Structure 1
Amino acid sequence: MWKHNLTLYKRLFSSKSAISQLNRSPFRRHPRVATPINPVVSSGIHGESNMNNVIIKQYDPIATHILNEPTIIIERQVEMMNVVLGFEQANKYAIMDVMGNKIGYMQERDFGFFKAITRQIYKLHRPFTVDVFDNVGNVLMTIQRPFSFINSHIKAILPDENNTLVGESVQNWHLWRRRYELFQREYENPSEFAQFGNIDAPFLSFEFPVTDENNKIIAGCDRNWVGIGRELFTDTGVYIIRFDSEQSFDGVYPKEMISDKVLNYDQRAVMLSNAVSIDFDYFSRHSNHGGGLLSFGSYDE
């Protein structure tokens, strides 16, 4: 079903205009205060040499359960109080492989009554923490976003004793375009972050291709159409996250537009976190305006 819906969307909204306007701005490095890490060498995905100097190793649970998939699908679950009353609940997402098998899930932490009230007040600007779980409930990774007045800033964190920061996604505000800058934490210099990807999608775009410093597509996150009923009355979006430039883009973009680089596990963790940010920033209409079936709120963008 998701493949059929994606094909239908591509017929209605051509990606050519998005590709022709991909950002060509230089990538940058940000000095930041970060927790020191102990260097460990790993062979990485496909045994590529550029996969060695990473924080997340091939044997880490988040890698073996989720990030080793070339393509994953995440689906935001129905929030019944949001649908009926417009009451903003903690978000939940199912994580699946391309065959539809559930390989994990994500759930926003719910800290009780006070947290529920702040969700209603801050709505899309609210801070949140989302945990990534395997199918049996083990925490694999944590996604954090502080309060944001304009630009969202989301972080991928390992659930170890140091809460090791892996990387981050920073929204780059534009009046109509949808922009993000993606950073991974430097392995040899953990106080700095290096930009590995850039998103510059056009107005109302459902496609968020990630380009490298050569303006080639290295990864992507596409929002899928889920039917008129769910689109109109809920925020239950479905997202296709393409991690692997070698395996995830067959028939999606021309080969000359695809990078020959493959995301390492740290970068894939940032991509997964960025998908949550995209969902909040651009596709949470009900969270933004309030409403519900029993209210008079507007569902327009």
Structure 2
Amino acid sequence: MDQLFVYKERTREDSLAEVCFGIKPANRYFVMDCMGNKVFSVLEDSESCDRQFYGVGRLFTMNVTDHSNQEVIIMVHPAVCTFCSHELEVQSPPGTTIGYVRQNWHVCLPKFTLENERGEPAIKIVGPCVGCTCCTDENFELVSLNEAAIDRSFGKITKPFSCCGSNADFVIRFPSNMDVKMKATALGACILIDTMYFSWEKGYRAVPNPPTLANIPVS
């Protein structure tokens, strides 16, 4: 498997509740392969008041089930303050950590590191200046740890331009021989990217963190 298509689910009831009462719904997704088969359903577990008042910094868990409705992956996002970097722990089976997604501070670009179960960096993700791209896809490139030659990236998480191309909300591309744990972690990165940069109400959108002593890179 070298591609996943991520679709965001939103019901009419969710839309009415948000428009009429300002109640922000929990995020829901379904994931399909390139043959059109549904492989995963993803449901956010979080408190309504946290979604309202803490926005992208809220504590949440993403429960991922397969086609037989078995829970196969859990993604845990701890609560973070405005000045802290985001992270996501990926567990599969639930209770067994297989990877982490960590935000890296940058003055204007979204950057993340995918780590293995031991917290060792494996892959970097470098995104565009979100909101500055116009009438084009937004690509978050999977690159080597030294971020060399982004034009030779070996995978990407794409937010397609809504007026053309795929009707998926996100398309994840990675080498078919990539470790399955890292593929699951890349799916977690996609969910985190959507939560931080595309799934927001006014005032809740994430921006690259202001520098602090805790998150300024040393090199």
What SS does the aligned partner of 2:68 have? coil
The one-letter code of the counterpart of 2:174 is F
Does 1:212 find its partner at 2:157? no
Kindly indicate whether the alpha-carbon contact (under 8 Å) linking 1:124 and 1:288 is maintained by their aligned counterparts in 2: no
2:137 corresponds to 1:201: no
Query: 1:177-205: CA deviations, max 9, x gaps?
Result: 111011012xxxxxx32211112223126
What secondary structure, in the 3-state scheme, does the structure 1 residue paired with 2:162 have? Answer: coil
Letter in 2 for 1:105: S
Correspondence list, 1:32-47, <5 A:
none
Say which SS state the counterpart of residue 285 (structure 1) adopts: coil
More strand, by proportion: 2
Correspondence list, 1:110-149, <5 A: 110=46, 115-149=47-81
Q: Quick check: 1:266 aligned with 2:181?
A: yes
| Partner Cα separation in structure 2 for residue 84 and residue 219 of structure 1 | 40
Distance 2:156 2:4 in 1: 11
Q: Higher helix proportion, which one? A: 1
Structure 1 residue ranges without an equivalent (≥5): 1-68, 186-191, 229-235, 248-261, 291-301
Q: Which has the higher contact order (CA 8 A, sep 6+)?
A: 1
Query: Which letter maps to 1:170?
Result: R
- Equivalent residue in structure 1 for 2:6, among 56, 59, 74: 74
Query: Which residue of structure 2 aligns with residue 156 of structure 1?
Result: 90
Distance 1:100 1:153, change over 3 A: same
Q: 2 CA distance for matches of 1:227 and 1:84? A: 28
User: Secondary structure of the equivalent of 1:144?
Assistant: strand
CA contact (8 A) 1:151 1:173 kept: yes
- 8 Å CA contact 1:129–1:144 kept in 2: the answer is yes
Q: 1:239 aligns with which of 154, 160, 170?
A: 170
Q: In the aligned structure 2, how far is the partner of 1:289 from the partner of 1:182? A: 24
- Tell me the SS of whatever aligns to 2:69: coil
Q: 1:84 to 1:208 in 2, by over 3 A?
A: farther
Greater Rg by CA: 1
**What corresponds to 1:284 in structure 2?**
199
TM, length-normalised to structure 1: 0.57
Cα offsets for 1:13-40 (capped at 9, x unmatched)? xxxxxxxxxxxxxxxxxxxxxxxxxxxx
In structure 2, C-alpha distance between the alignment counterparts of 1:285 and 1:118, rounded to whole Å: 13
Q: Deviations over 1:48-92 (max 9, x none)?
A: xxxxxxxxxxxxxxxxxxxxx210101111242335544211110
* Cα offset, 1:116, TM superposition: 1.1
Quote the offset at 1:243 in angstroms: 2.1
Any gaps of 5 or more consecutive residues in structure 2?
Answer: 206-219
Instruction: Read off the aligned partner of 1:242 and give its amino acid letter.
Output: R
Q: Taking structure 1 as reference, are residues 268 and 126 closer, same or farther at Cα in structure 2, changes over 3 Å only?
A: same
Distance 1:207 1:82 in 2: 29
1:227 positional shift: 4.6
Aligned 8 A contact 1:86 1:286 in 2: no
